[in-house]
Structure 1
Amino acid sequence: MKPRLQATLGQQLVMTPQLRQAIRLLQLSAAELEVEIAQAVETNPLLDWTESSVSVEADASHADGTSTTAQTEDRYETETLAPAEADWGPGDGETWYERTGPADADDEMPGAEQVAESETLQDHLLWQLHLSPLSQRDRLIAVTLIEAIEDDGYLRDSLEAIAETLSADIRAEPDEILMVLHQVQRFDPAGVGARTLGECLGLQLATLPGNTPGRALAHTLANGPLERLPKVGVAGIAAELKLDPCEVETAVQLLRSLDPKPGLQIGAITNDTYVAPDVVIWRQHGLWRVTLADSMRPRISIHRGYEGMIRHASASDAHYLRGHLQEARWLLKSLEARGDTLLKVMRCLLRQQAAFLEFGDSALRPLTLREVAAEIGLHESTVSRAVARKYARTPRGTIPLRSFFASGIDTGTGGEASSTAIQAMIRQLIEAENPRKPLSDARLAESLKATGVPVARRTVAKYREAMSIPSSQDRVRM
């Protein structure tokens, strides 16, 4: 075959520094984002704080029940949302929508911040397990695996050792445990549950698009030659595999962009004593609206004075200023993308869970990360990062965005009821019971079944214990 040159057009996704920065900023909490921005302003002379005209009037406006959003830059336009498909939806001619405009005097503004709960890597994984469509047996095995995963995200115990720690009524073989482990390894953060560095990098490579440059070769390097890379270098690996050193260098750079200890993204994060809301949800004239909290809006800008000096500076100074100018632009663009992604997720949650804000936990619909990701066209891991350690200020108080998600149980009418709604129903039954003759778990299960929610007695007991409600014998009051 005669060699020839041919030009082609194509699109591909590359893990550029800007993309990695955007992903990292997306998973930061409000307090961590403030620290990140402060450090950027201190180290980059091209960044400067923007004077806020609403800081003095913020407390007064909130006291009047109005939003300070009218006094800030209106970056997101009004969007009308379709009403959720449920019996509790709005009446004819009424729609659920969101905007960032001013709130009227009769708005029901949310309450103040609340104390944040600490979260570990295990908490993060168990929350995703709760939303996964696994059998009860696989869930018990997965819980044992998650408890064995260390803070850096690795599973260093052998499958045989895991099998020995399982209860006597499970008795799973290593092959069955391995199948459940593969399900856990699909959780966020990517690479969690790996047993070796090569497997950890391979799990992260699997989440990248197939046309990512060097992806296939990076898989090959992660499965063996990567350990010899410090000794023989890129040239040695290229000679061993009989490949062009440029191809090997591309694959090595891709591997270096991955996280060798993904568990520290969650486990090593310092927990805040108090939380600042990332979004604000309020009701105005019977409609639910959402906007980014004032603290989440970028309060930095590019220093125009230093930017103008680039034209008249010397070559070395101009090169220094241009580099910092590019970093400042990347940061501002990443912050804007973070806000857009967060609002996109919140729009979907409002469409799906408007009744939850209206009627409380009993109206919470079953909703998973996969459903939200499919609706808004994002990856599950992106949605998970967007809601992780994020809070919304609502008329019901400051609540984590995870409260909008819940697993589902089939009902007798052909629909589904969320686990959170079932817990709320159990609590209501217990609050209305005769204190001299409390309802047993079996009676509670019968009452739920009569309302069209067939739940086993063991499930009722599990939900009751999760709400820290004592048994019927301990609830007797004479």
Structure 2
Amino acid sequence: MGLILQQRQELKLLMTSQLRQSIELLQYSTNDLEQLIRQQELENPLIELQESDRSAQIEKLPSFQSARNSAPLFQATTINFRDQLIQLVHLSFKENEIKKLLEYIISHLDYKGYLEIDGIESPYSTEQLTKGIKLLQQICPAGIGARSIAECLLLQINSHDPEYPMLKELIGHYLPLLAENKWKIIARKMNCSVAQIQKYNDLIQRLNPRPCILSNSETTEYVHPDIIVENQEDELIFYLNEHYLPKIHLNEYYLNTSFTNLEDRHYIHNHYKNYRWLVSSIEQRRHTITQIMHVLIKKQLPFFRNGLSSLVPLTLKEVADEIGMHESTVSRATSNKYVQTPAGTFEMKALFTSKVLTNDGKQISQEKVKTLVKQIIQKENKYQPYSDQKISEYLNTEYAIRIARRTVSKYREELKIPTASMRRKWQ
């Protein structure tokens, strides 16, 4: 067996560190990009920054549109609620023993306002803790310091509705059955009508099971839009919200300095390459996002005017094919970014939605179907609410949309709408 020497020509794409960084930079939000630029200034003597106007556009992030993968960009001042309660105790009570008891209770409240002392060797008896909780009710939100959700609700009932003995019995003994909407069983056990149980349930719904949110990070979330779409003279225009980013300039002093040391020359040369990489990568990011936005405005024009309910089916691949890029590039460029529109501020990813086929072969977006499901449930007979199967049949009959019962169930859960049995009202 002899050795053979062969020559073979191959074409390979090597992923350099700078190429990898350029790809990662596509995923940066504008706020992340600013931090990267400032970090590069610290590391690279050839980079000089010229500050821009800091008055960037900022919008409050609504709770129903909380960022899926993003942390809040700006936070309100943290409030230590326990300290406030302790101050209130010192203003309301004079006896040191009472102050110490209430301070002990406050220090053991969880973030919802419940007293958590299970497994803790308490210096106070159950009777003393109960007395302390009653004192706390006099100066704090009703329900605070409760040891269970039932006790929390009962404390609020005692505070507002002491004339409902059956309501207290319902909370004290049948709360788990009530949570499962087993009203008939409860009515039989309590020897009353289902309509009466529903009346009590409506009263309970008005109570607060979390009377005092005690969080170490009580913050307000804000979103910083990366792209802004505006309506000017009945025409949509957009621009990247980058005006607050510092401008990058080359410090030519080091570049024009003659270094005799080879190591110094390599040092300056490498930093010059990094400078050029940063500038070109930011420009490439800007160009990619701009190309994607041109397609999105063309394809999703009704959305930009009316909001999520007007979204048409659109996939990452369709946009990628339109601009001649890879689907993964579009995915990266639209990640961690928000677009401010005349209809509200949304995650850029929200503009892409899967399609549902109608019986006549037309396409409709999932968001549109969800909107229809919500509208059907809002208009239903509350005494005979639609099951998921009935909603599926209704969509097929009235809108020629054929979707399975389990799909309706999935959309309903995403909309946080309870089941038909949970929605049903009793006469």
Quote how far apart the aligned CAs of 1:49 are: 1.4
Match of 1:341 in 2: 288
Match of 1:37 in 2: 37
Counterpart Cα distance in 2 of 1:294 and 1:455: 43
Superposed CA offset, 1:89-142 (max 9, x none): xxxxxxxxxxxxxxxxxxxxx94455753439xxxxxxxxxxxxxxxxxxxxxx
State whether structure 2 residue 399 is matched by structure 1 residue 451.
Answer: yes
Superposed CA offset, 1:386-417 (max 9, x none): 11222112223321111111111110221111
Counterpart Cα distance in 2 of 1:403 and 1:364: 9
Match of 2:51 in 1: 51
Quote how far apart the aligned CAs of 1:464 are: 0.4
Counterpart Cα distance in 1 of 2:11 and 2:249: 32
Quote how far apart the aligned CAs of 1:365 are: 1.1
State whether structure 2 residue 278 is matched by structure 1 residue 331.
Answer: yes
Paired residues, number: 267
User: Residues 307 and 344 of structure 2 are in contact (CA less than 8 Å); yes or no, is this contact kept in structure 1?
Assistant: no
Quote how far apart the aligned CAs of 1:461 are: 1.4
State whether structure 2 residue 388 is matched by structure 1 residue 470.
Answer: no
SS at match of 1:349: helix
Superposed CA offset, 1:168-196 (max 9, x none): xxxxxxxxxxxxxxxxxxxxxxxxxxxxx
User: Residues 370 and 380 of structure 1 are in contact (CA less than 8 Å); yes or no, is this contact kept in structure 2?
Assistant: yes
Q: 1:294 to 1:31 in 2, by over 3 A?
A: closer
Counterpart Cα distance in 1 of 2:391 and 2:412: 10
Match of 2:82 in 1: none
Counterpart Cα distance in 2 of 1:114 and 1:40: 33
Quote how far apart the aligned CAs of 1:37 are: 1.7
Counterpart Cα distance in 1 of 2:311 and 2:376: 17
Match of 1:182 in 2: none
Q: 1:275 to 1:11 in 2, by over 3 A?
A: farther
Counterpart Cα distance in 2 of 1:469 and 1:327: 52
SS at match of 1:291: strand
Q: State how 1:264-279 maps to structure 2 within 5 Å.
A: 274-279=222-227
Counterpart Cα distance in 2 of 1:296 and 1:338: 17
Counterpart Cα distance in 2 of 1:339 and 1:284: 22
What one-letter code is carried by the residue in structure 2 that aligns with 1:402?
Answer: K
Counterpart Cα distance in 1 of 2:49 and 2:425: 61
TM-score, normalized by length of structure 2? 0.56
State which of 296, 299, 306 in structure 1 corresponds to 2:247: 299
Superposed CA offset, 1:325-346 (max 9, x none): 2211111110110111111111
Pairwise CA RMSD of aligned residues?
A: 3.0
What one-letter code is carried by the residue in structure 2 that aligns with 1:289?
Answer: I
User: Residues 48 and 303 of structure 1 are in contact (CA less than 8 Å); yes or no, is this contact kept in structure 2?
Assistant: yes
State which of 235, 238, 242 in structure 2 corresponds to 1:290: 238
What one-letter code is carried by the residue in structure 2 that aligns with 1:419?
Answer: Q
Quote how far apart the aligned CAs of 1:300 are: 2.3
SS at match of 1:473: helix
State which of 441, 451, 456 in structure 1 corresponds to 2:388: 441
TM-score, normalized by length of structure 1? 0.51
Match of 2:197 in 1: none
Counterpart Cα distance in 2 of 1:11 and 1:301: 37
User: Residues 51 and 245 of structure 2 are in contact (CA less than 8 Å); yes or no, is this contact kept in structure 1?
Assistant: no
What one-letter code is carried by the residue in structure 1 that aligns with 2:321?
Answer: A
SS at match of 1:294: coil
SS at match of 1:326: helix
Q: State how 1:240-251 maps to structure 2 within 5 Å.
A: none
SS at match of 1:45: coil
User: Residues 111 and 395 of structure 1 are in contact (CA less than 8 Å); yes or no, is this contact kept in structure 2?
Assistant: no
Counterpart Cα distance in 1 of 2:326 and 2:337: 18
User: Residues 26 and 332 of structure 2 are in contact (CA less than 8 Å); yes or no, is this contact kept in structure 1?
Assistant: yes
Counterpart Cα distance in 2 of 1:400 and 1:114: 12
Q: 1:26 to 1:413 in 2, by over 3 A?
A: same
Match of 1:407 in 2: 354
Counterpart Cα distance in 2 of 1:324 and 1:422: 53
Match of 1:420 in 2: 367
State whether structure 2 residue 376 is matched by structure 1 residue 429.
Answer: yes
Quote how far apart the aligned CAs of 1:467 are: 1.1
What one-letter code is carried by the residue in structure 2 that aligns with 1:363?
Answer: S
Counterpart Cα distance in 2 of 1:346 and 1:296: 20
Counterpart Cα distance in 2 of 1:404 and 1:49: 34
Counterpart Cα distance in 1 of 2:62 and 2:273: 38
User: Residues 30 and 275 of structure 1 are in contact (CA less than 8 Å); yes or no, is this contact kept in structure 2?
Assistant: no
Superposed CA offset, 1:223-253 (max 9, x none): xxxxxxxxxxxxxxxxxxxxxxxxxxxxxxx
Larger Rg computed on CA atoms: 2
User: Residues 392 and 403 of structure 2 are in contact (CA less than 8 Å); yes or no, is this contact kept in structure 1?
Assistant: yes
What one-letter code is carried by the residue in structure 2 that aligns with 1:352?
Answer: K
Counterpart Cα distance in 2 of 1:393 and 1:28: 17
Quote how far apart the aligned CAs of 1:48 are: 1.5
Identity of aligned residues (%): 37
SS at match of 1:290: strand
Q: 1:296 to 1:378 in 2, by over 3 A?
A: farther
Q: State how 1:43-442 maps to structure 2 within 5 Å.
A: 43-52=43-52, 54-55=53-54, 58=55, 111-113=59-61, 116-119=66-69, 274-294=222-242, 299-307=247-255, 309-310=256-257, 312-316=258-262, 317-442=264-389
What one-letter code is carried by the residue in structure 2 that aligns with 1:362?
Answer: S
Counterpart Cα distance in 2 of 1:296 and 1:387: 20
Match of 1:23 in 2: 23
Gaps of 5+ in 2: 1-8, 71-219
Superposed CA offset, 1:270-319 (max 9, x none): xx964422211121111111111126856322224444x33x44444444
Counterpart Cα distance in 2 of 1:320 and 1:334: 21
Q: 1:284 to 1:434 in 2, by over 3 A?
A: farther
Counterpart Cα distance in 2 of 1:34 and 1:403: 24
